[in-house]
Amino acid sequence: MTEETTLENNSNQSEKQPKGLMTLFFSEMWERFCYYGMRTLLTLFLVKSLMMGDSEASLIYGAYTGLVYAAPILGGKMADRFLGYRYAVLLGAILMAIGEFIILGGSEHLMLIGMGALIIGNGYFKANISTIVGKLYKDNDPRRDSGFTIFYIGINIGALLATTVVAFVGETYGFKYGFGLAGIGMLAGLLIFWAGRANYAAAPGLEITEEGKKKILGPFNWVQVITVGSLALIPLCYILIQNNQWMDYILLTLFIGISISMIMAGINEDKQEGTAIWKDRMIALIIFMVINIAFWACFEQAGTSLTLFADRNVDRFIFGWEMPASMTQFFNPFFIIVFGSIFSVMWVKLAKIGKNPSIPMKFSFGIIQLALGFLVTQVGFQFVSESFQVPLLTLVFVYLLHTTGELFLSPIGLSMVTKLSPKKMAGTAMGAWFLSFAIANYVGGKIAAITGGHGGGEALSVEAGLDNYLSVFSTIGFVLIGIAILIAVLNNPIKKLMHGVE
């Protein structure tokens, strides 16, 4: 039986998801445990252990997370052309685990080396495991959005474990123990992905390509050279994180270059198929990338300004116990798990009755909710204590609205990329999508650098810091509302570019 026939038979099972989805679910869950375990502690580690100011810490955080999401451009291309999706994911998992354990050394230099390994590893893992999920489904399979939402729940179970267990252990017993737990989680993800490889074997493109097996350097083939070459990229990441101002030019150049590349690929696809749809779809995908940048640059304040806001200006005492500041990030994955399955069913039900909002409108609704989350801080300000702290419920409602907004946008975005892109460039398109996250995270670091005012100059008082946080959060909220309205106005022109993709 061919892979295509197996995939078709799997897809025709009424309402059942492909069995490979759960293997990928748990593999991604533990990889996200690793990534978010690192992320949830990073800003506080930089500020409290390495004694950096807010601005410096936020820019390092932004450069690191930006590179994490830029790396899938490389990972996607290498998998499409040489490595195949399975080998790429395995290589990524190994590099991420190594990176996490290097950070345990505790020094700034080892931290930056470990970050470099995490960045390159994530580049191979993240884009390609999402691509495998997409390839479990036939074209126009109505279960695809639901399947990606289920997959997204796995992501957030990993994030929930990271922002509770890793956050608590890291802040209570020492940051190195938190980072160590994150590394163990990555090893678990690696084991699950390898042990369950038969479950997702129906997905095309898993094997190392014929080109990847060709000799390129003496007795060494492309796969071997790429594997060793990946290690050589770690020092480059080290340099870029240290000199994060270079990222302005690098990310802008990458965005322009990949946009031109995608449009040209769409034109070539139209010529080969005798159609006039792929160029327009690539343009639509680029528009969604820009929208995605706006959303996530603000959403990703969770790891920087919102965590420092929680540390300084939020009353975190619950029945005599003070919640660690990094642990406040758990509200987002908790709400994802609570509401994720509801949204998964909701999209299917709405599609059946013809009431499913268009993708542009889903993005617009998501951004409005993100905006309202930031504006909630103004309500919390009405209940500020004498110590200039707002109630913990303020952050609960911030993250609740951010989460519902995320569910309108993020899992739908992953599914959308697999629909809008030609099959032969699925990995590259997914890499381009993660580039928008890269730019967003980097821009988010820049926003955070101006928010708290506790670095790069005289530190603000707690009172002045609170005023500054609330002012910036309100500005973000109003700008986002304007963006959401613009997307709604452009709904029909964007839909026209999508040529029937729902």
DSSP 16-41: PPPTHHHHHHHHHHHHHHHHHHHHHH
pLDDT tens sequence across 339-398: 877 887 888 898 889 888 999 999 999 999 999 999 999 999 899 988 899 999 999 999
The pLDDT value recorded for residue 9 is 40
The pLDDT value recorded for residue 138 is 81
The count of other CB atoms within 10 Å of the CB of residue 14 is: 5
Query: Per-residue pLDDT averaged across 169-193, rounded?
Result: 95
* Euclidean distance between CA atoms 30 and 38, whole angstroms: 12
Query: Per-residue pLDDT averaged across 181-193, rounded?
Result: 96
CA 130, 490, 260, 115: dihedral to nearest 10 degrees?
-40
The length of the chain, given as a count of residues: 502
pLDDT top residue among 502 and 270: 270
The pLDDT value recorded for residue 6 is 36
pLDDT tens sequence across 395-442: 999 999 999 999 998 878 877 888 898 877 776 787 788 789 999 999
The pLDDT value recorded for residue 158 is 93
Q: Is the pLDDT of residue 123 over 50?
A: yes
By the 8 A CB rule, do 185 and 59 touch? Answer: no
The pLDDT value recorded for residue 13 is 43
Q: Rounded to two decimals, what is the model's pTM?
A: 0.85
497 to 51, 279, 354, 417, 467: CA distances (angstroms): 50, 9, 20, 14, 43
The pLDDT value recorded for residue 17 is 87
Q: What percent of the chain has pLDDT over 90?
A: 64
Q: Is the pLDDT of residue 337 over 90?
A: no
The pLDDT value recorded for residue 149 is 76
The pLDDT value recorded for residue 130 is 86
Which residues have a Cβ under 8 Å from the Cβ of 101 and sit 6 or more positions away?
Answer: 114, 180, 183
The pLDDT value recorded for residue 183 is 95
The ranges assigned to domains in the chain are 3-498
Residue in 89, 146, 87 with CA at minimum distance from that of residue 121 = 89
Query: Per-residue pLDDT averaged across 67-72, rounded?
Result: 87
The pLDDT value recorded for residue 464 is 86
The count of other CB atoms within 10 Å of the CB of residue 258 is: 20
* Euclidean distance between CA atoms 136 and 151, whole angstroms: 12
Which residues have a Cβ under 8 Å from the Cβ of 9 and sit 6 or more positions away?
Answer: none
Local confidence band at 1 (pLDDT 50, 70, 90 cut-offs): very low
pLDDT tens sequence across 274-331: 888 999 999 999 999 999 999 999 999 999 999 999 999 999 999 999 999 999 999 9
CATH of 3-498, one of 1.10.3720.10, 3.40.309.10, 1.10.260.40, 1.20.1250.20: 1.20.1250.20
The pLDDT value recorded for residue 454 is 53
Residue in 145, 24, 16 with CA at minimum distance from that of residue 417 = 145
Q: Which residues sit opposite 314 in a β-bridge?
A: 390
Q: Is the pLDDT of residue 195 over 50?
A: yes
Radius of gyration of the chain (CA): 22
pLDDT tens sequence across 26-44: 999 999 999 999 999 999 9
Mean pLDDT of the chain: 89
* Euclidean distance between CA atoms 289 and 44, whole angstroms: 30
**3-7, 184-188, 369-373, 459-463: which range is least confident on average?**
3-7
The pLDDT value recorded for residue 186 is 96
Longest Cα–Cα distance of the chain, Å, equals: 72
By the 8 A CB rule, do 88 and 223 touch? Answer: no
> Phi-psi region for residue 319, left (φ > 0), alpha (ψ -120 to 50) or beta?
left
By the 8 A CB rule, do 95 and 230 touch? Answer: yes
